[in-house]
């Protein structure tokens, strides 16, 4: 049967083909529906039927609440992609990687110091680091701002926890830790370190790395992420966090993740990563082409790089465009785009100021195409461009 039961935004009618006039292009959230067509092509092999009696228990037969089968598949996926070294690492599952971000902050903040650990990230940063850290208002940690404010401070004497997002959300750059030293701990958020979005120059090999199913298979709604952790004490604390918080990830979600990863692993990931890379690369090229003639607007530069997964030099295919309004009179860039019918995400949220807007390129093809159409109109209306 027809798998579509709801129309995409901006479309209506019995077969969802009628465009709703005046509808804005939504390129705000990072909903990874660009992978939906891939899963439609693999509907049967990725389908799951769960009998009513199955997986009722709190725990698996070994008494744990994390599936060992799933853990094995995760290690295998990293091995075939070559994006992370899992050797000697413990794994903790979380209900989305978002839960693991705070679990990691919690685990790294516990030391014997009397003052709270300071949490930092480099501008432009993924807004959840600040939002979460402030929201939980712990005695053990607090958000203290941009990494660059601490860079030259050799006398950092309290614990600092640096978030490093690589590739970065919003600007897709591959990043390394800025801060070093005995008081510094680092959380690597590798949500986008997959061949869909970036060249993979080498396996990530850091002490604490966080990944998510959301950006690997696109199943953001299943809420599944994992952390690879070298230090056993940090692992135990993160495990405790997930125990206290939720008693672990839904066993149904773990079953679904297992099934999806089995499909990913078919042919060593070739199908899904070819699909993901081609889709994202095509979107980036189309947007770049339109903006190449603009004097008012620009997007970030991303250099081609050798990818060990594809074994070739490959061009950019980022998850987001980091859109800049170049002229002073357009400094409320979000408003400029809104007026043109494009809803992005305000640069202020990323600590970057209102001259920037993040455009999500990972949503449905309809969302992307509509944005492209509106962008073309916006750019062609510029002075001096016909």
Residues that bind ligand PMP (CB under 6 A): 30, 96-98, 126, 165, 169, 189, 191, 212, 214, 220, 225
Residue 206 CB, nearest approach to ligand PMP (Å):
15
Tokens, residue 91: 């794994």
Q: Give the contacts of 138 (CB within 8 A, at least 6 positions apart).
A: 106, 109, 116
User: What DSSP letter does each residue of 286-322 carry, written as one string?
Assistant: HHHHHHTT-SSEE------EEETTTTEEE----SEEE
Give the span between the Cα atoms of 237 and 65, in whole angstroms: 15
* 251 vs 345, beta carbon nearer ligand PMP: 345
CB of 363 to ligand PMP, least distance (A): 12
Of 223 and 314, which has the nearer Cβ to ligand PMP? 223
Strand ranges for 202-285 from DSSP E: 208-212, 225-229
Task: Compute the least distance from the CB of residue 126 to ligand PMP, in Å.
Answer: 4
3-state secondary structure at position 83: coil
- Min dist. Cβ of residue 240 to ligand PMP (A): 20
- The nearer residue to ligand PMP, 209 or 337, going by C-beta atoms, is 209
Q: Closest residue to ligand PMP, Cβ-based?
A: 96
- Closest distance of CB 252 from ligand PMP, Å: 17
Beta-carbon contacts of 203 under 8 Å, excluding residues fewer than 6 positions away, are 78, 82, 83, 84, 85
Q: How far apart are CA 45 and CA 49, in angstroms?
A: 11
What DSSP designation does 178 have?
S
Indicate the residue among 214 and 253 with the shorter CB distance to ligand PMP. Answer: 214
CB of 300 to ligand PMP, least distance (A): 16
Nearer to ligand PMP, 70 or 98 (CB): 98
Shortest distance, position 113 Cβ to ligand PMP, whole Å: 27
- Residue 195 structure tokens: 């061949």
* Smallest distance, ligand PMP to C-beta of residue 42, A: 21
In terms of CB distance, is 109 or 169 closer to ligand PMP? 169
Residue among 98 and 272 whose Cβ is closer to ligand PMP: 98
**Cβ closest to ligand PMP, residue 264 vs residue 290:** 264
Q: Where are the beta strands (DSSP E) in the chain?
A: 11-12, 18-19, 25-26, 90-94, 117-121, 141-146, 160-165, 184-189, 208-212, 225-229, 297-298, 305-307, 312-314, 320-325, 342-343, 345-346, 356-360
Distance in angstroms (rounded) separating the CA atoms of residues 262 and 280: 23
- Where does residue 201 rank: exposed (0-12), middle (13-18), buried (19+ CB within 10 A)? middle
What span, in angstroms and rounded, lies between the C-alpha atoms of 125 and 144?
13
């Amino acid at each position: 049967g027809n798998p579509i039961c709801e129309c995409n935004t901006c479309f209506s009618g019995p077969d969802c083909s009628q465009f709703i006039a005046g509808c804005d292009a939504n390129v705000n959230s990072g909903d990874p529906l660009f992978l939906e067509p891939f899963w439609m092509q693999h509907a049967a092999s990725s389908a799951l039927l769960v009998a009513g009696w199955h997986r009722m228990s709190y725990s698996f037969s070994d008494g744990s609440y994390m599936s060992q089968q799933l853990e094995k598949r995760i290690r295998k996926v990293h091995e075939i992609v070559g994006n992370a070294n899992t050797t000697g690492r413990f794994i903790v599952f979380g209900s989305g990687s978002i839960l693991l971000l705070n679990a990691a902050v919690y685990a790294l903040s516990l030391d014997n110091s009397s003052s709270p650990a300071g949490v930092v990230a480099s501008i432009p940063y993924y807004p959840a680091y600040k939002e979460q850290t402030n929201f939980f208002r712990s005695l053990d940690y607090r958000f203290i701002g941009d990494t660059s404010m601490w860079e030259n401070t050799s006398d950092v004497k309290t614990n600092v926890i640096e978030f490093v997002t690589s590739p970065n959300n919003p600007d897709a750059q591959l990043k390394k830790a800025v801060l070093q030293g005995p008081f510094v701990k680092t959380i690597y958020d590798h949500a986008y370190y997959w061949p869909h979005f970036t060249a993979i120059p080498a396996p990530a090999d850091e002490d604490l790395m966080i990944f998510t199913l959301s950006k690997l298979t696109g199943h953001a709604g299943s809420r599944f992420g994992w952390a690879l952790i070298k230090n056993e004490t940090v692992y135990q604390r993160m495990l405790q966090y997930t125990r206290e918080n939720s008693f672990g990830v839904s066993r149904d979600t773990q079953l679904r993740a297992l099934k999806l990863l089995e499909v990913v692993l078919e042919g060593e990931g070739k199908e899904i990563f070819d699909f993901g890379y081609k889709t994202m690369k095509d979107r980036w090229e189309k947007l770049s082409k339109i903006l190449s003639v603009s004097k008012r607007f620009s997007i970030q530069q991303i250099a081609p790089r050798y990818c060990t997964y594809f074994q070739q030099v490959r061009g950019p295919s980022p998850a987001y465009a980091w859109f800049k309004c170049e002229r002073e009179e357009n400094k409320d860039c979000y408003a400029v785009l809104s007026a043109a019918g494009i809803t992005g995400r305000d640069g202020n949220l990323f600590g970057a100021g209102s001259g920037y807007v993040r455009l999500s390129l990972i949503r449905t093809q309809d969302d992307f195409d509509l944005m492209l159409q509106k962008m073309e109109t916006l750019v062609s209306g510029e002075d001096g461009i016909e």
